[in-house]
Amino acid sequence: MKFYEDSNSVERYRFRRIFHKKNLVKAILLLLAAALLAGYLYENYEAKQHLDAYSGNTITVNQVTYNYQVVGSGDYTVIVDGAAGESDLSRQKLVEAFDGKARLFFYDRPGYGGTKGDYKTPKEVAEDLHFIFRRFGWKMEFILMGEEYGSLVMQEYLHLYPDEVLGAVFLNPMGEALGSEEMARYEGIHTASFPSKEGLGLFGIPRALQNAGILDFFDHVDLPEEEKNMYANLRLSKDFMAALKTEYQYMTAGEPLPVKSMLLQDKPFALVTTKLSEERYSQDKYLSYSSDASVFYVQDSVRDILLERPKDVAPVLYTVVDKVIRSGYKK
């Protein structure tokens, strides 16, 4: 009888132990699921907050609703087209640094900021911009300013509508190097951390680590804390990263966009680059656009010229605008 009772006690103990283990596993799984759900909701909320921070107006052209801003005043319009991953931060810095007599036109390419619609090639975007300006009823005379990927859009605009271009500033242009091994290396450097950011980013882990100061995914960016926070949160957003990666892939796989010599004739052209980039991406060829071409060098360590060097870039733009104004007085 005692043996029977001992056996029952052992069985009951084993049952309770298994029951507790199962409950513990369930509790852990539920906590993990809750944590992932909380991370997912946190990520989507924070991403929306930062992506929706772009202010401006909208206009729909060819199935894309473009977000745009016009800042400043003057008789001439500068179309500003930034690098892959450009943020409102670089625009603000340019506006603060530039005091020329011209208005600045900013817009978001598909996938960025307030622009809604599928990806378009640089040529397609240039065509859309031309249509937008006609819709505005603007005088079709522009000064172009394009950096990196944005230089592709501006280069296409110049090739499509040369009579509308009064001058240009290209920052670290990439057209001549599209599809090259150097371009593939450029993409690799800029997207090396994407797999971990994209996977863990679904649940807000990189963003939480960044905002908590545990890890800094952008330690190469020298910005004040508040601006660095804005920059980092934009670049950790899923939609922003997808657009960024698509543009880098285009630069790696696209066909070269050769310079058409003397297309600007004697209109002012300025190249802003580094000695290293000029050699790697055949950027000296851009000087053949005009008989009035000049080059301005920044340090080789600079990665995002417009973002990091607005006080150096703004005077170059001012010089080009001033030449355009003076040439207008001569007519």
Confidence of residue 331 (pLDDT cuts 50, 70, 90): low
Instruction: Report, as an integer, the average pLDDT of 226-240.
Output: 77
Cα–Cα distance, 56 to 43 (Å, whole number): 24
The pTM of this model reads 0.84
pLDDT of residue 304: 82
Residue 72 within any structural domain of the chain: yes
Q: Assess whether pLDDT exceeds 60 at residue 98.
A: yes
Residue 60, amino acid:
T
Residue 5 within any structural domain of the chain: no
Residue 269 within any structural domain of the chain: yes
What is the number of other CB atoms lying within 10 angstroms of the CB of residue 314? 19
Cα–Cα distance, 69 to 107 (Å, whole number): 6
Measure CA 57 to chain center. Answer: 19
pLDDT of residue 240: 82
Distances (CA, A) of 233 to 38, 211, 214: 18, 8, 15
Residue 314 within any structural domain of the chain: yes
pLDDT of residue 41: 56
Q: Assess whether pLDDT exceeds 60 at residue 8.
A: no
Contact between residue 233 and residue 270 where contact means Cβ atoms under 8 Å apart? no
Of residues 182 and 54, more confidently modeled: 182
Confidence of residue 328 (pLDDT cuts 50, 70, 90): confident
pLDDT of residue 19: 54
Per residue in 201-232, pLDDT tens? Answer: 666 677 777 777 777 777 777 777 777 777 77
Residue 165 within any structural domain of the chain: yes
Per residue in 252-311, pLDDT tens? Answer: 999 999 999 999 999 999 999 999 999 999 999 999 999 999 999 998 888 788 878 888
Residues 6+ apart with CB under 8 A from 180: 256, 281
Confidence of residue 3 (pLDDT cuts 50, 70, 90): very low
How many domains in the chain? 1
Per residue in 163-198, pLDDT tens? Answer: 999 999 999 999 999 999 999 999 998 887 777 776
The helix (run of H) or strand (run of E) holding residue 274 is: strand 265-274
pLDDT of residue 50: 56
Range of the domain at 318: 57-178+255-330
Q: Assess whether pLDDT exceeds 90 at residue 65.
A: yes
Residue 191 within any structural domain of the chain: no
Confidence of residue 148 (pLDDT cuts 50, 70, 90): very high
Phi, psi of 120 (to 5 degrees): -130, 150
Instruction: Report, as an integer, the average pLDDT of 12-16.
Output: 56
Contact between residue 90 and residue 304 where contact means Cβ atoms under 8 Å apart? yes
Report the CATH number at residue 310.
Answer: 3.40.50.1820
- What number of residues does the chain have? 331
> How confident is the prediction for the chain on average, in pLDDT?
84
Cα–Cα distance, 281 to 151 (Å, whole number): 13
Residue 12 within any structural domain of the chain: no
Confidence of residue 44 (pLDDT cuts 50, 70, 90): low
Of residues 93 and 145, more confidently modeled: 145
Instruction: Report, as an integer, the average pLDDT of 77-85.
Output: 94
pLDDT of residue 2: 47
Of residues 109 and 211, more confidently modeled: 109
Instruction: Report, as an integer, the average pLDDT of 150-156.
Output: 98
3-class state of residue 267 by DSSP: strand
Q: Which of 147, 78, 166, 135 is nearest to 109 (CA)?
A: 147
Q: Assess whether pLDDT exceeds 80 at residue 28.
A: no
